[in-house]
Chain A
């Protein structure tokens, strides 16, 4: 009986594990061991270089770490600005207000648009020479003319501007997941709290937040994973790495693969990137467990 039971359990995960093993594990092992080679992606011969590629990444590749730093910066903005915005919007739509359905649909339009369109449209909105310069015009109209700026072509503001556009595109997901989470909190709990005389703020603090923590961790992890890998948006907004100011890891990996034809090195970069992401996610997960 026990054997039958265990076998039954395994059949639940069998399809997933089967597909995963074939379509992820095998390519992963291939790429992983390629990090130990110097290969151009074309020849049928490769040169084994051991940990040379990794040494180069850690000790010589300043461009790589600049890219990691930039990606972390964008991710930080996403974790704070984007997710707080998404949460506030979800809270607002959780209540019984009019036009709820309308907002729910509108907020999900940015994620649906392709990154290329988002880049092109925002470039048009922000830029003054090849665009409509709407942001600056609004600032001038509000009397804040001295804040008007070349948001995308000034190296100091380019990265932040890109980060904000990314937040615009991404908040729809956080909004959706937060809303789903908020909706699963039984209304009875709020009713009970009101009857007990709790204020809106208190029930928010004592009921909403604690029950939403697992969802918040989920969104945080997904945000980190999604944002660290951004790159299409950067190319359509600022044309590329902008002398390093808008470099990101994926662009560096692509540069190694295509620009320098160093496939092995690109794989090593990918592995390093993956390790960093795992480390960050692990810390986030642990942090949330402790806080509980």
Chain B
């Protein structure tokens, strides 16, 4: 009896707790869900500032880590419960699906207003990632659908102190692949560790493979391959795969590279246990936290060929979208315009050691970040090419390269396997 009453009591208690409370607001509140742990404090400060300026309350909610954030967004989209402002972590294809499902506000009119006032504040490459061009393969009407709040590039970094120890000039990083491989021999002889990167997480492999693909065969041929006009068994692609084999054999890659998550790689480089790292510009903040005295420089991946320029991935780092069904659309857009304005961007960049998306905010950034920023000239990104490769093909390519690095498969084998899957996927698509 007593037990049952207790149980009933608890049940009632929770039913009461279960009723969510409704508050009446005079000024709207903008709800923003984000995943950027290291920027949460800065976001909160900016939100307070905005509230004193305009009286509009901005509520930043952090949901980390990014995998969980992604799932939350997708669940909320299904339940048609998205907040006023949010981000989509994923490929352009997913971005397109969200737009077609009506979740995202088309902000082109706001961008183009006043002769493109807002639009021109950004680096064109930062916007490109959030733009859909006419005739794109995703079936989305052309326009701009999200706002970049920072930019990033993914390049290589090298440890200047270890360079001196190896007898190399710390101010002259390798420019060609051959120089890079020669350094590898020195690294092996000295018993040090070479390049570290999160190649347990396959997308980073994809990034470097792509960089070299652009370098060896040029953008057009790469896009042609994605479209299916050029096979992966082409000699140029085999050259790309072979580069990884050469790197492994020369000793310029660190041991156990294929089982590293990016965080381990960052910690190794920060603790001066690795000579090179392949990482994005966000690493500046990470390394600073782990080892403020680290002496390092940024460089482009060493060129394998001089026919075409080497390219790197870069563009918008994080972007925010506005919920098309939000009741506070206008206010949300106004806030985003303020957030991406010169001063706020400069503040954000300084506080979190990231590159601003606003062209005019580059004034006071540390030298190492400036080196990353210079790489933007060479930057491209899969989200701006207008075509996407099949994800199963990408997976096979990345896993294939992992196999090459651990010496289980040859570049030719991998090329053949990737091409087989590509043909299968294309056949499937034609059948639909």
Q: Which residues of A contact B (CB under 8 A)?
A: 40-44, 47, 60, 63, 123, 127-130, 150, 152-153, 155, 158, 235-244, 255, 258-262
Q: When A242-B258, A243-B399, A243-B408 are in contact, do A259 and B391 touch as well, CB less than 8 Å?
A: yes
Which B residues touch A63, using CB under 8 A?
Answer: 395
**CB of B336 within 8 Å of the partner chain:** no
Interface residue range, chain B:
35 or more
Give the residue of B90, B260, B391, B392 whose beta carbon is less than 8 angstroms from that of A239: B260
Q: When A129-B268, A129-B273, A239-B201 are in contact, do A40 and B255 touch as well, CB less than 8 Å?
A: no
Q: Which residues of B contact A (CB under 8 A)?
A: 67, 70, 74, 77, 90-91, 93-94, 97-98, 100-101, 193, 198-202, 254-256, 258-261, 264, 267-268, 273, 391-392, 395, 399, 402-403, 406, 408, 424, 432
Please tell me if the beta carbons of A129 and B261 are within 8 angstroms of each other in the complex: no
Please tell me if the beta carbons of B424 and A261 are within 8 angstroms of each other in the complex: no
Give the residue of B255, B395, B424, B432 whose beta carbon is less than 8 angstroms from that of A150: B255
How far is B399's CA from A219's CA once the two chains are assembled, in angstroms? 36
> Given A130-B260, A242-B200, A261-B391, 5 more contacts at CB 8 Å?
A41-B74, A42-B77, A153-B259, A236-B261, A260-B392
What are 13 A-B residue pairs whose CB atoms fall within 8 Å in the complex? Answer: A42-B98, A42-B101, A43-B97, A44-B101, A123-B264, A239-B198, A239-B201, A239-B261, A242-B200, A243-B402, A255-B395, A261-B97, A262-B391
How far is B432's CA from A60's CA once the two chains are assembled, in angstroms? 18
A30 to chain B, nearest CB (A): 11
Please tell me if the beta carbons of A152 and B259 are within 8 angstroms of each other in the complex: yes
Please tell me if the beta carbons of A242 and B255 are within 8 angstroms of each other in the complex: no
How far is B193's CA from A261's CA once the two chains are assembled, in angstroms? 37
Give the residue of A60, A123, A236, A261 whose beta carbon is less than 8 angstroms from that of B93: A261
What 10 A-B pairs have minimum CB-CB distances, sorted nearest first?
A239-B200, A153-B256, A243-B402, A260-B391, A42-B97, A238-B259, A239-B261, A240-B200, A243-B403, A130-B264
How far is B255's CA from A242's CA once the two chains are assembled, in angstroms? 14
Which A residues touch B97, using CB under 8 A?
Answer: 40, 42-43, 261
Which A residues touch B264, using CB under 8 A?
Answer: 123, 130, 239
Please tell me if the beta carbons of B200 and A244 are within 8 angstroms of each other in the complex: no
Which B residues touch A47, using CB under 8 A?
Answer: 432
How far is B267's CA from A255's CA once the two chains are assembled, in angstroms? 26
What residue of chain A has the Cβ atom nearest to residue B95's Cβ? A42
How far is B90's CA from A43's CA once the two chains are assembled, in angstroms? 15
Which B residues touch A155, using CB under 8 A?
Answer: 406, 408
How far is B392's CA from A158's CA once the two chains are assembled, in angstroms? 24
A45 to chain B, nearest CB (A): 9
The CB with the most chain A CB atoms within 10 A, among B256, B261, B406, is that of: B256
B35 to chain A, nearest CB (A): 14
Please tell me if the beta carbons of B254 and A261 are within 8 angstroms of each other in the complex: no
What residue of chain B has the Cβ atom nearest to residue A56's Cβ? B428
B427 to chain A, nearest CB (A): 11
Which B residues touch A43, using CB under 8 A?
Answer: 97, 100-101
Q: When A127-B256, A129-B255, A153-B256 are in contact, do A235 and B399 touch as well, CB less than 8 Å?
A: no
Which B residues touch A258, using CB under 8 A?
Answer: 67, 70, 90
A22 to chain B, nearest CB (A): 15
Which B residues touch A238, using CB under 8 A?
Answer: 200, 259
Q: When A42-B94, A42-B97 are in contact, do A239 and B395 touch as well, CB less than 8 Å?
A: no
Which A residues touch B408, using CB under 8 A?
Answer: 155, 243
